[in-house]
Structure 1
Amino acid sequence: GAISPTYLDYLMPSIVADLFQPQTVTYNGGVANIKQWKISCYLEVMESGIPCTNPHEGLKSHCCELLDTCNTLFASWYRQQHACNDKTTSSYKVDEEGNPIVSRLMTFITRYTPAPDENALLKHVDGAGKVDGSVVVALPIDRWTASEEENSFEGHGGGLTFWDGRTKRSANGTRGPEEIVYDTRSGDIAFIDRAVWHQANPITRGTRWALVIFYKVER
């Protein structure tokens, strides 16, 4: 993984046993058709108090080093991803190392369970396409509130699916975006460019934890 699973194991006990307090958020039209989202705890929210007005400061301070690491990794990835696109590159502000200056727009930790409306976040675009990119960090399986065997979703779904813009001809001759499925392990980080369709795949047992950050690239 891009982030040390051992370090995440050090952070997780306080998160799962104490700090994680999911807030109920109502989305107009729903995210992936879910109107009321109840399985995320927000560490940082957008300036207008979207999607909720009470971010969890304790959880944010507990994770602050991890968030800083994600900033560095995202900035480096964004620079590489957009290296060939002179227009994009020339329009963003850079630090002394030449990496884009990025800021977190929204940060949250999600706990998926097998329950309906809690088992997945089906095909969607982050921030209605208003964010420049995002990251999803796979967090460890919860071995602290129950046994790993009880909480593991191993072999029962999970991972991420992306729909890449490149079109692929299917067996019946029609063209559509290529579907790419990634299995994720603790410490793995997925970098998602602006307005890329993706989903957190359903699980049918256990619990699955992830940290998600929406980013703005300063221009």
Structure 2
Amino acid sequence: MRSPGVDGRAAVPTPPRRFGVLLAVGLSCLLLACGGQGIDPPERAPVRPQIDAAAPAPFVAPAEPNHIELRSGAGMTYLSSALHPDPLWRDGQRLDPVDERPVWWAESGMPGSASTQTAVVVGHNYSRREAPFRALRVVEPGDRVLLRTPSGVLEYAVETVGPLPKGSLLGEHELRAPVAGRLILANCDVRDGEPTDDNFVVVAQLVGR
């Protein structure tokens, strides 16, 4: 693992509670740079929220998520995106979302108030065109992640953010054990306009757990 991470922030640590899913995203997901002009770095600019600020509900039964939002600790929404309606399954040693929308990895835990597993949402990132999960680069500890499901809304508090070398979780890695109420967001990292050999990973914990 890398420590410290980008901009002095701690990289994804070896936490006392381990998230356990074989996180094959990044392992070799196809997140290729496209031709054309580069795009500006992601920023924490406000966007219109699509999830009711009165949420989350006190109890949410397990269900596939259909929308995700990232909010600052002060409540400003800087990412709001629908999730792809079809969950993602691994293709050999690769996770390759079908379009730019983030998507729930079906081999991970299903989000819910009483979930005992880690839920994983992955998304593409590019150096030459936009994709919602470019915003992972500006997530900060203390931010909130909201997942909307047909059962209700779940709120997670961001604990750590940072790069993780691609492929590091294919073997016997201590971060593969399940953790109740944990959410992992991941993309293929782009730094200074160029793809890297890392994934950028956000680790969040269900509020109230």
Same fold (TM over 0.5): no
- TM-score normalised by the chain length of structure 2: 0.28
- TM-score normalised by the chain length of structure 1: 0.27
Which structure: greater strand fraction? 1
